[in-house]
Amino acid sequence: MNKASVRLVVVSSFVLWPFGAGAAFRFEQNLVEVTPDFGQERVTAVFRFKNEGTAGTVRSIETSCGCLSAESDKRSYAPGESGEVKATFNVKGLSGSVERSITFVSGAKGEAPVRLAVRVHVPALVEIEPKMLHWALGEAPAPKVFKITMQGPDPVRIKSASSSRRNVSTAVRMLVEGRSYEIEVKPENTSEALLGMVRIETDSRFREHQKQMAFFRVDKNQDPAQP
């Protein structure tokens, strides 16, 4: 665990957490959800609370990942005093919904740790549907298609798309320049099981989005939704 001497993140719902005898810190949130902009590498979440008991202290704040840091604005709080903790989440290279946790420990002897969470919804700059193309063993080796949509504010073009398998060909078809494409994938035959990928290279200005992957397989499973 990553220990950040008074470092933290944010959460949602109105819950009363006891912080030892005579201390009661009321938090406005216990789960915070954040959606960063395209290309944004760091997001911040704020967790506000009020000490509705006697004087209370923060002993430590630990995060579940090195990508997350958190800190409170001070270490001790008088009765009736409000405070906050701030967390910074480095989301570079992540996509989809990602959640990380924080453990907040008070200075009260024997007090149970408080678990907090930050959930980040990182938008996909390049959307690929479906996630995997599938042919059943013995099925006619007809071409199938990945649909590629560029979600960001700027146009993104596909520079190339190559198969990891020699006996599976690919072809890129532009529908709307910088916005939507199709990648046609065609196996030479479906007589043997195989698993492969299509490596997609784009001209995105964001380095982490310049290379994408899509997958295909041939096997006995008739239902593409099953593993």
Residues 107 and 158 in one domain: no
Query: Which pLDDT score, from 0 to 100, does residue 17 have?
Result: 40
| Beta strand pairing call for 126-129 and 76-77 | unpaired
Cα torsion 198, 201, 204, 205: sign: positive
pLDDT in tens, 148-171: 999 888 899 999 999 999 999 999
Among 122, 138, 160, the domain-final residue is 122
Asked whether residue 224 is domain-assigned, the answer is: no
Whole-number pLDDT of residue 70: 93
Q: In whole angstroms, what is the distance from residue 2 CA to residue 64 CA?
A: 6
Give yes or no: residues 21 and 61 share one domain: yes
Residues 103 and 160 both lie in one domain: no
Mark whether 115 and 66 lie in a shared domain.
yes
- CATH assignment of the domain containing 71: 2.60.40.10
Boundaries of domain holding 86 = 2-122
Q: Are strands 56-63 and 2-3 parallel, antiparallel or unpaired?
A: antiparallel
Q: How many helices (H) and strands (E) does the chain have?
A: 0, 19
Pair 91, 6 in one domain:
yes
**What's the average model confidence in pLDDT over 111-125?**
84
Same domain, 105 and 10: yes
| Res. 109 pLDDT band, cuts 50 70 90 | low
Task: Calculate the alpha carbon distances from 218 to 75, 132, 177, 189, 194 in Å.
Answer: 59, 11, 31, 9, 5
pTM of the entire predicted model: 0.64
Domain membership flag for residue 10? yes
In a domain, 227, yes or no: no
- Decide which of 72, 95, 122 is a domain's last residue: 122
Angle at the Cα of 90 (from 86 to 94), degrees rounded to 5?
Answer: 135
Give residue 104's identity as a one-letter amino acid code. Answer: F
Per DSSP, the three-state class of 225 is coil
Please tell me whether residues 118 and 160 are part of one structural domain: no
Q: Is the pLDDT of residue 141 over 90?
A: yes
Residue 77 has what pLDDT? 84
Q: Shortest CA distance to 40 belongs to which of 190, 176, 208, 218? A: 208
Last residue of a domain, one of 80, 104, 122: 122
Please say whether the beta carbons of 115 and 63 come within 8 A.
no
Distance between terminal CA atoms of the chain? 33
Q: Are residues 104 and 171 in the same domain?
A: no
14 plus 117 within the same structural domain:
yes
Report pLDDT digits (tens) over 160-215.
999 999 999 999 999 999 999 999 999 999 999 999 999 999 999 888 789 999 99
Residues whose CB falls within 8 Å of the CB of residue 33, separated by 6 or more in sequence, listed in order: 12, 119, 120, 121
Q: How far apart are CA 39 and CA 22, in angstroms?
A: 46
- Do 141 and 213 fall into the same domain? yes
Total structural domains within the chain: 2
Q: Looking at the structure, tell me whether residues 189 and 208 fall in a common domain.
A: yes
Q: Are 100 and 90 in contact (CB under 8 A)?
A: no
Q: Do 25 and 72 fall into the same domain?
A: yes
Let me know if residue 84 belongs to a domain. yes
